[in-house]
Chains A and B, each alone.
Chain A
Amino acid sequence: MVTIELNQPGKTVLMMGDEAIARGAIEAGVDFCASYPGTPATEIPESLARVADRFNIYVEWSTNEIVAFEAATAASLAGLRALVAMKQNGVNVCSDFLMTVNLAGTNGGLVLVAADDPSAISSSNEQDSRNYARYADLPLLEPADFQEAKEMTKWAFELSEKLGLPCILRSVTRISHSRGNVKLGELPEKKRTAKFEGVYISGAFVAAQHAALHQKLEQAREEFEASRFNFYVGPKKAKFVIVTSGSGWLYSREAVAALGLEGKVGILKIGTTWPLPEKFIIDHLKNVTEVFVVEEVDPFLEQNLKILLAEQAKTLGPIEVYGAKSGHRPPYGELNRDKVTTALASIKGLQPRTRDEKYIEKAKEALTYIPPRMPTFCTGCPHRASLWAIKSALKLDGRDGFVTGDIGCYSIGAGPAGFFQLKTIHCMGGGIGLANGFGKLEKFAFNQPVIAVCGDSTFYHASIPALINARVNNSNVLMVVLDNGGTAMTGFQPHPGSGFDALGRPAPTVEIENICKAIGVEVRVRDPFEISQAVQDIYDMLQENGPRVMVFRRRCFRIEAKEKLQKKYYVDQTKCIGDDCGCARFCSRVFNCPGIIWDQDAQRAKIDEMVCTGCGVCATLCPRGAIIVRGAAS
């Protein structure tokens, strides 16, 4: 039973923040959802896709975030309720459209969920997407727990319709990817039909539209003044108040309790952070002399609050503000209760209860005793073979060639898992874009070959314009598309080459090699598991000029394993000669696949059958031919 479709109003269930957002959308009667996968937002569209038929919702995985946002806006313009969800980097991709749809306006409820990743747990940056709300003059909501994630999403649709503007809901990893109690609400009867009317043009009367946008923002402020997502807890006449939003709320409450300050420190929790509910805040800061702003990443709330306090200096008198600027909270990294407790204790001149130093010392001593654990490619991962082929070919070539990287599972190829091959990583499509430039430096005595790697989903998302650019400017670049058949990093969502849609139904495909041919670049398609051929091909292509594309095609074994039985491999320990081989323990030490282990007793390699997926690449590479398919003639 999928929890988010339960028709049991009043029942309390465990929900991930992302599921709560999806449920809120369902309770609001959402009709349309378009997104591109990205941690920690992926589970929102995924949850909606699971119940799409039951609630008559159209759900798609779009090619990238701006297309998703535009498609969702179309649904809004036709009078439907639409949601688009993305990770923080995705907001940058769709920002061009964001900066015009705010002026042109919307019709049906349109909600943009921006899921930020403080501490960049699964990201290449740590941006604070709340700035987009202020930048684009759009209303911003920040859920502080799981129940609010659901309630706010539901309300965001109503607010969007009332204002004729997209509404931004900003989540963070610890809301989106944490789970907690959610009390279910009613499921609505949906009767909407789509019809486009009116004119939505940004640019005809921009200054007038911008003026109207500011009026809408004032209207949003009025709505926010009475919002139940803003509240105060604590003593009636507290002199010291924590002002907090989002994930800061739960940490603040625990920090106040940990220091026993419940009777002295109040907490003003703001859920509607742009535009600020000014009257509400002023009312609650009338007797206050000190404020500590608790929020994650940028001092967004802090700076906006400081402006308000400056404006209200006559009414409120001097108020000391602690936060990022005062050094009590870093403007980077995620928060936790301990960070808030330490800061609060330091401001209040208190000594927080600390752990036993001797205990920590002893526990840390135990850490020196255990080996570290690095993320690596899965057993049977095609990326290991592809990066091995690239490494080998670059070595054969001998001109100090290098690899520009991109966003996906293969990003960890920058570390030992991929033999340290990736030398640059930025944003989606950034690898081929950079390679374009490197490939035009011959005038400056540059003679290093450049290989841009990108995943299949990344190819469609943001790499095609750069490849066209390489073609028309005749840039010397070899692009290697690591095509594993899906958006693997975020959980195997389909892309234009997959042949199925968000609901798992058959879909037309757009072939990578056909796009390359149409652009007019040479393209080869190889299986990276045919390892010697793969090395030879990369080497050959490195000797050519102009743009070239190699598609290393091999489905992610996690997708593959569902489809066919894998082969079983074993090490013939009579053939393996261990340290005498001269291969420097190639299979277990150099190739680094977790499926090959070192048998300490026998001093020979061994296959861990529990983890081996039977890709067989190590069998091809073993110099002694000691790795053998079970059942095959030896």
Chain B
Amino acid sequence: MTLEKDPLNLIIAGVGGQGNILASQIVATAGIKEGLYVTVGETYGASQRGGPVMSHIRFSAQAQCGPLIPEGEADIIVGLEPIEALRIIADFGNSRTRVIVSPRPIYPIWVLSGQAKYPPVEEVLQKLGELVAEVRVVKVIQEGETGLAVNVVIVGALAGSGMLPIALQNFEDSIREIFAPKDLDLNLKTFRKGVELTGRKAVATTLVKARRRQ
């Protein structure tokens, strides 16, 4: 098996408590089921308590990669939170990077305390759009629907987008392996909802066209 780009580098960015580690585990296990070498580098520990959390996931058909993505070499960025997606572009993004992002903000402590402003989400998405090739905004939670886990919906959206060379079946098998039987049905349902959001029949997806860089 060969990859169009090897290694293929994915970052999942979010905030402590959003289930970033679980999301990366589902995606990486699916990659292994696809027959790839997968390396996941995670930053947590002290940062678990409301700090930014980032997972680096690297796929290769050739060899095990190092756990950290080199600067500017993220091919895909999945943002569980809009400013966290934008925050990592300076270090890891490039003009060919593709982004899938949940627009629901989680306010940092300095914003809550009124000492810093959280910019309007549309502007954050606009800035992202100016820096990368493609931004897909996935509205994870509709009004009155709070039971869905953002991380699993977004993994579904990533699977549905076709950005990764991994079959949907391998994602579902990965979820079956990771979740306890009592949580399996809800999570499969949640995952499939995410797939619908970016899959071919997607209706609720907003596409922010990239401005072509000069």
Q: Smallest CB–CB gap between A220 and chain B, Å?
A: 27
A374 contacts partner chain B, Cβ-Cβ < 8 Å: yes
Q: How far is the CA of A374 from the CA of B70 in the complex (A)?
A: 24
Chain B residues, Cβ within 8 Å of A39: 45
A14 neighbours in B (Cβ, 8 Å): 25, 28-29, 32, 38, 40
Contact A374 B51 (CB under 8 A): yes
State A588–B44 Cα separation when bound (angstroms): 26
Q: Is A360 an interface residue (CB 8 A)?
A: yes
Bound CA–CA A608/B109 (angstroms): 13
Can you name 8 A-B residue pairings with CB atoms under 8 Å? A39-B45, A355-B72, A362-B131, A372-B116, A373-B50, A373-B52, A373-B109, A416-B109
Chain A, 504-555, CB within 8 A of any chain B CB: none
Using known A-B contacts A360-B90, A589-B113, determine if residue A174 contacts B64 with beta carbons closer than 8 Å. no
B162 interfacial by beta-carbon distance below 8 Å:
no
Within 8 A of A (CB), among B118-156: 118-119, 123-124, 127, 130-131, 146
**Distance between Cα atoms of A247 and B65 in the complex (Å):** 11
Given known contacts A179-B40, A180-B39, A363-B89, A594 and B50 CB-to-CB distance under 8 angstroms:
yes
In B28-79, the 8 Å CB interface with A consists of: 28-29, 32, 37-52, 63-68, 70-72
Would you give the 0/1 interface string for A484-515, flagging 1 where the beta carbon is closer than 8 Å to chain B? 00000100000000000000000000000000
Q: What CA separation (Å) do A585 and B113 show in the bound complex? A: 8
Contact A178 B67 (CB under 8 A): yes
Tell whether, in the assembled complex, residue A588 and residue B113 are in contact, meaning their CB atoms are under 8 Å apart. yes
Flag if A178 contacts B113 (CB, 8 Å). Answer: no
Number of residues on chain B facing chain A (CB within 8 A): 62
CB distance from A183 to the nearest CB of B (A): 11
Main secondary structure of the interface of A (DSSP, over half): mixed
Of A157-165, A248-256, A343-351, the segment with at least 4 beta carbons within 8 Å of chain B is A248-256
Q: Would you call A362 and B130 a contact (CB within 8 A)?
A: yes
Contact of A371 among B72, B95, B118 (CB under 8 A): B118
Question: What is the CA–CA distance of A596 and B130 in the complex, to the nearest angstrom?
Answer: 33
Interface contact B109-A592, CB-CB below 8 Å: yes
Q: Which residues of A597-618 are within 8 A (CB) of B?
A: 597-598, 608, 610
User: Is A610 touching B50 in the complex (CB atoms < 8 A)?
Assistant: no
Residues of A within 8 A of B115 (CB): 589
Kindly state whether residue A240 has any CB partner on chain B within 8 Å: no
Fill in one digit per residue for A347-387: 1 if any B CB lies within 8 Å of its CB, else 0: 00000000110011011101101111111111000000000
**B108 touching A373 by the CB < 8 A rule?**
yes
Whose C-beta in chain A lies nearest to the C-beta of B66? A250
A338 at interface, CB cutoff 8 A: yes
Question: In the complex, what residue of chain B is closest to A145 when comparing beta carbons?
Answer: B64
Q: Which of A175, A371, A409 has the most CB of B within 10 A?
A: A371
Q: A127: shortest Cβ distance to chain B, in Å?
A: 17
- Residues of the A chain whose Cβ atoms lie less than 8 Å from the Cβ of B93: 359, 363
| Residues A1-31 near B (CB distance < 8 A) | 1, 3, 12-14
Q: Are A122 and B46 in contact (CB under 8 A)?
A: yes
Bitwise, A126-161 to B at CB < 8 A (1) or not (0) is: 000000000000000000011100000000000000
Closest CB of chain B to A55's CB: distance in Å? Answer: 20
B131 touches A372 (CB 8 A): no
B83 adjacent to chain A (CB < 8 Å): yes
Contact A366 B86 (CB under 8 A): yes
Query: Cβ of B90 and Cβ of A371 under 8 Å apart?
Result: no
Tell me if B46 and A359 are in contact (CB < 8 A).
no
Q: A179-B28, A366-B127 are in contact. Are A146 and B86 (CB under 8 A)?
A: no
Q: Top 3 nearest A-B pairs by Cβ distance?
A: A122-B45, A371-B116, A375-B51
Q: Please give me the residue from chain A that is nearest to B90 by CB atom.
A: A363
Q: Which residues of B contact A370 (CB under 8 A)?
A: 83, 86-87, 119, 124
> What residues on B are CB-neighbors of A247 within 8 Å?
66-67
**Which A residue's beta carbon lies closest to that of B37?**
A181
Contact between chains at A174 and B41 (CB < 8 Å): yes
Query: B202 near A: Cβ within 8 Å?
Result: no
The CA of A12 and the CA of B32, in the complex, are separated in Å by 7
**A177 at interface, CB cutoff 8 A:** yes
B187 within 8 A of A: no
A376 touches B109 (CB 8 A): yes
B73, chain A: closest CB distance, angstroms: 9
Q: Is B205 an interface residue (CB 8 A)?
A: no
**A337 / chain B contacts, CB cutoff of 8 Å:** 66, 68, 70
Are A336 and B50 interface neighbours, CB within 8 A? Answer: no
Given contacts A360-B90, A363-B131, contact A369 B68 (CB under 8 A): no
Q: Let me know if B117 is at the binding interface, CB within 8 A.
A: yes
Contact A409 B87 (CB under 8 A): no
> Complex Cα distance A263/B153, Å?
45
| CB proximity to B under 8 Å, residues A180-219 | 180-181
- Other-chain residue from A122, A146, A355, A597 in contact with B94 (beta carbon distance below 8 A): A355
Using Cβ atoms and an 8 Å threshold, which residues of chain B touch A376? Answer: 49-50, 109
Q: Say whether B32 contacts A412, CB under 8 Å.
A: no
Cβ of B111 < 8 Å from any Cβ of A?
A: yes
- Complex formed: what's the CA distance from A416 to B116 in Å? 14
B residues less than 8 Å from A585 (CB atoms):
113-114
- B154 CB to nearest A CB, Å: 17
Partner of B40, one of A180, A250, A251: A180
User: Which residues on the B side are within 8 Å of A359 (C-beta)?
Assistant: 72, 93-95, 131
The answer, among A179, A338, A367, for a CB contact under 8 Å with B87, is: A367
User: Which chain B residue has the least Cβ–Cβ distance from A334?
Assistant: B68
Contacts of A12 in B (CB 8 A): 32
Chain A residues whose CB sits within 8 angstroms of the CB of B65 once the complex forms: 250, 254
Partner pick for B90 among A146, A178, A336, A366, CB 8 A cutoff: A366
Report how far A313 CA is from B15 CA in the complex, Å. Answer: 54
Taking CB as reference atom, which chain B residue is nearest A381?
Answer: B49
A598 touches B116 (CB 8 A): no
Contact B16 A375 (CB under 8 A): yes
Chain B minimum-CB-distance residue to A595: B112
> Once the chains bind, are A121 and B95 in contact (CB under 8 Å)?
no
CB distance from B120 to the nearest CB of A (A): 11
* 13 extra interface residue pairs, beta carbon distance < 8 Å, beyond A338-B71, A369-B86: A147-B64, A174-B66, A179-B28, A179-B40, A250-B67, A364-B90, A369-B119, A370-B87, A371-B116, A373-B15, A375-B16, A376-B50, A593-B112
Are B63 and A253 in contact (CB-based, < 8 A)?
A: yes
Complex formed: what's the CA distance from A325 to B18 in Å?
Answer: 42
The reply to whether B40 and A588 form a contact with Cβ atoms under 8 Å apart is no
In the complex, what's the smallest C-beta–C-beta distance from B59 to chain A, in angstroms?
A: 11
Give A594 to B110 CA distance when docked, in angstroms: 9
B127 touches A597 (CB 8 A): no
Interchain CB contact under 8 A, B70 and A174: no
B113-A371 in contact (CB<8A): no
Kindly name the residue among B39, B113, B119, B131 whose own CB sees the greatest number of chain A CB atoms within 10 A: B113
B49 cross-chain contacts in A, Cβ below 8 A: 375-378, 409, 412
Which of A181, A411, A596 has most B Cβ within 10 Å?
A181
Expressed in whole angstroms, the Cα–Cα distance for A251 and B46 within the complex equals 25
Q: How far is the CA of A12 from the CA of B36 in the complex (A)?
A: 10
Q: Which of chain B's residues have a CB closer than 8 A to the CB of A409?
A: 49
Interface presence of A439 (CB below 8 A): no
Q: Is A417 an interface residue (CB 8 A)?
A: yes
Q: Does A109 count as interface, using CB distance less than 8 angstroms? A: no
Q: Which chain A positions have C-beta within 8 A of B131?
A: 359, 362-363, 366
Report the Cα distance A416→B71, complex, angstroms: 31
Determine which of A175, A360, A597 lies in contact with B112 in the assembled complex, contact meaning CB atoms within 8 Å: A597
* Alpha-carbon separation in the docked complex, A177 to B203 (Å): 38
Name the residue of chain A whose CB is nearest to the CB of B46. A122
With contact pairs A180-B39, A598-B112 given, residues A1 and B177 touching in the complex (Cβ less than 8 Å)? yes
Contact A412 B38 (CB under 8 A): no
